Structure 1
Amino acid sequence: MTGPDHPRLLPSTLIEEHTADPGSPRRVRRTVRDWLVDLGLFLLAGVIALVVATDPSPAPSPWVVRADLLAGVLGCAALWLRRRWPVGVALALTPLAVFSDLVGGAVLITQFTVVVHRPFRVAAPVCGLGLATVPLYGLVRADPDLPFPLLALLGVVLTVTVLGWGMFVRARRQLVLSLRERARRAESEARLRAEQAQRRAREQIAREMHDVLAHRLSLLSVHAGALEYHPDASPEDVSRAAGVIRHSAHQALQDLRDVIGVLRAPVGEDADPGGQPAGPDGERPQPALSHLADLVAESRRAGTAVTLDDRLEDPEAVPATVGRTAYRIVQEGLTNVRKHAPGGEVTVTVEGDPGRGLTVEVRNPLPAAGCAPSDIPGAGQGLLGLTERATLVGGRLEHGRTSRGDFRLHAWLPWPA
């Protein structure tokens, strides 16, 4: 019931839209059930009129009999309009009950329709008007066999019955419509949550692909560039560089296969497509801070002078999420050095304690004047991604040139006691 062309309706509005004006955009066409209900009520009003017509009580005058018959016919016929104009039909038929017995059934049905499809503030005056016709009926069509107190009691009982039954039906319909609306809203919210989870998963996969592949491909580009600019290299150097290129390309393909495997592998699968055992949630194995020495060694083999100052007593004690974030920060820092300051010496410092937090710092001298940076392409999103990673775990990241003439990448990550 919601959408750009159909505003969200309250349950009472949904009930009342069946009785809207002909020109209203919310008018609902009658269903087969509506036609059957209208036909049944029409026949019920006709049966009540026939039963009343068999009453042998004499009429006050012939014109009252003719008016009673005409009012009964008009009342039964007007029931077909009660869905479109419930209040108008009820107000038109109620005065006829002053002198007509045959219209009594139709009046009660129209009052019930008003109670079901209109709020109490509208239904109560309509039913009150019907109750006010009882004394007038006693004056116009006095019956010696029916004392006025009994007539008044009968009118009150019928009016209260119609009002109470109609309010019960209206409340039940509102409850059903409210439950349906709540179910539709729950489905919509579930669909929205699924879309948000899918978007977060895609963003996470994109970060993983950037962090992993940028590192691998930068190593490959460095060694390929060395072969290009040193054609006179010895066969041993060429063979060693070719081996690193082959190994880096193989690792890049393996990492790419692992990341794509996250999309394909169901939760709880024992192994990813690369043959490595999966984590507890079915995801591919994630790097930890204890793997930092391997990362540094790999960069050294690629020709980057890296000094690792690891001041942690037990890297395994660092929480997995924090350790993985620290690993990615160092990885991206080394990748940026190969891109923007090739040949520079890098210092990686890792220190911290539980309760004080984990500090990660990557420093490298700025490239000398006239030294062109590497032509390794980049998207310029690496540092933004690192800032987002640090923020997600409750930390912070800073980067930029320092007064000492070098570039500093500094991060603080929380390490609970």
Structure 2
Amino acid sequence: MNVLQYLTENKDQILRDIEWIVTCESPSRRKDLSDECADAIYQMFYERLGVYGEAYEQEETGKHLKFEIGRGDKTVVMLAHYDTVWEEGDLSYYIEGDKAYGPGTVDMKAGLVQSMWAIKALQELDVELDYKIKFLVTADEEIKSPTGQYFIKDEAKDADVVLVVEPPTGYEGLIKTERKGDATYDIKAIGVASHAGNDPKPQANAINELAHQIVKLENLADLENGTSINVGVIHGGSKRNVTAAEAVMEVDCRFSKREEAHRIDEAIQALKPTLKETDLVVEGEIGRYPMERTEQTVELYEMAKEVASDLGMEIGETFAGGVSDGNFTSAMGIPTLDGLGAIGDGLHAPHEHIVISELPRRGALLAGVLEKLNKS
């Protein structure tokens, strides 16, 4: 029996495990629910792989988990997260045809379960790996990994390779060899309140000041080079007939090159007010540097492509505008391949789902990569 046959025979149990973890809802900011989900993942790894994990308690989010499998001089880190963007009760788990729907199915609980089963398949078929797998599962990726990033950076510092089991792109299952990086900022304008009719002060209007700053931000963007700046939220002012004393805008920046990250950050941190009677306060920073396509990343991708061919699959690669925890390890100079999770659609959307029939093949793809790393 080969890995694909093993996973196909166990597809129903894999799906039941996915249901188990998906129905343990885990909104990023609900520590109580997230900790319960972490406990379920801990139990699942023990029952399926016979390994005890280590739990890292957090004050405001769920626990981070670490599972170590095997031993050897080389270390392969696998990255997953179990937090979701959905609040409790927003979505329900259900199956319709060849699709399983629910909160966090594709992003990314199915990838977590599927990858655990890939390791289990290798164990059951007596495929010995000559390296240690360090499986890191975080609880705060959807809110920019405020503590998870330090957990990952510390635990992955000795890694030779990182595999991220986030979902691939589209039903074609495209592997992510590049990702944009991100930075977020809150830019506050401070003005002076006055009566809009009796004492108009356009030079002291905080909202007017932000309008000028938006033009500056637009001029910083460079879409041809992959740098975008989006003002997603503005709030401020008090009444229609009062000059706005305060206004804030929330800004999201994306970039595909490290030097662009620094250029944008330096420019935004140096913003000065345009109007005479206003002031500016800038808060924020670079969150993740880009995951850039390196020669080592391409080598990993070609390895995955070869495994896919052996399985009768065709895969491609893609550049993703979104970020993942793989950005952190890539920025550390560790070869990182992303998008090895479950196929589906609807990330952060009500129709979020996975394709059930693809679970065995995607699991076999990951297992094949793990086996090839034995010889690299």
Q: Same fold (TM over 0.5)?
A: no
| TM-score computed with the length of structure 2 as normaliser | 0.22
Return the structure number with greater helix share. Answer: 1
TM-score with structure 1 setting the length: 0.21
Structure exhibiting the larger radius of gyration computed from Cα positions = 1
Give the structure, 1 or 2, with the largest relative contact order (CA under 8 Å, sep 6 or more): 2
Name the structure with the higher strand share.
2
